[in-house]
Chain A
Amino acid sequence: DTGVSQNPRHKITKRGQNVTFRCDPISEHNRLYWYRQTLGQGPEFLTYFQNEAQLEKSRLLSDRFSAERPKGSFSTLEIQRTEQGDSAMYLCASSLVSGNTEAFFGQGTRLTVV
């Protein structure tokens, strides 16, 4: 257990439905990252927060995706009008803002869109 918690672990949804995932980072970590990982690939960056500020978003983050970190603690990632191509593992990681700091990953949320 790395200390980063993600819920749910698995989600199966019908195409067109909205889904929301939650990430609880290590409490003192002020950086939080979201990644998407498909089978056989490394994680792809989606977005990242420093405290409550969303500092960067990947082009992968279409307008159907939105992420929040309202109080600089936990974060949510919402996907609206899900598509089958959204099926993937969604990983959250957290770290401190300092040189050479470690990034700790959660166990991920496996999304299957049917």
Chain B
Amino acid sequence: KNQVEQSPQSLIILEGKNCTLQCNYTVSPFSNLRWYKQDTGRGPVSLTIMTFSENTKSNGRYTATLDADTKQSSLHITASQLSDSASYICVVSVGRFQTGANNLFFGTGTRLTVIP
């Protein structure tokens, strides 16, 4: 069964601190993994997208890692800011683009709160 699990469910950190969010998946065949940031009441916005051959990708203070062997990914946020408060959703894509099947599997997200 294709599943994406994220941990922790929620996290509170002090402004300026670093944090790491986890994503484990059982999706197969794997195509790519994406991290999205979703502010309250808004749609998700892409942070990174990684393919099977990539094991790290950065976007400013966000760094995502991927271990395709263990089927795990992490999102590391450096020097957190109040504006980082949001839900972070891990999305894994199945490699069935040509068949037309739904190919995006979502985690339930990690709710990050950065406090001053």
Contacts and interface: CB of A to CB of B under 8 A. Distances in A.
A55 B51 contact: no
A6 B44 CA distance: 13
B102 A48 contact: yes
A59 B64 CA distance: 32
B43 A2 contact: yes
A110 B106 contact: no
Secondary structure type dominating chain B contacts: strand
Interface stretch (B65-73, B78-86, B107-115): B107-115
Contacts, number: 67
A42 B90 CA distance: 9
Contacts of B43: 2, 4, 6, 91, 93, 105-108
Nearest to A57: B102
Interface residues of B, number: 26
A103 interface: yes
Contacts of A103: 34, 46, 91, 104
A43 B111 contact: no
B45 A2 contact: yes
7 contacts: A2-B43, A4-B43, A42-B107, A55-B101, A99-B97, A100-B49, A106-B43
* Interchain residue pairs A-B with the least CB separation, the first 5: A105-B43, A42-B106, A55-B100, A42-B108, A56-B102
Interface of A: 2, 4, 6, 33, 35, 40-45, 48, 50, 53, 55-56, 58, 89, 91, 93, 97-100, 102-108, 110
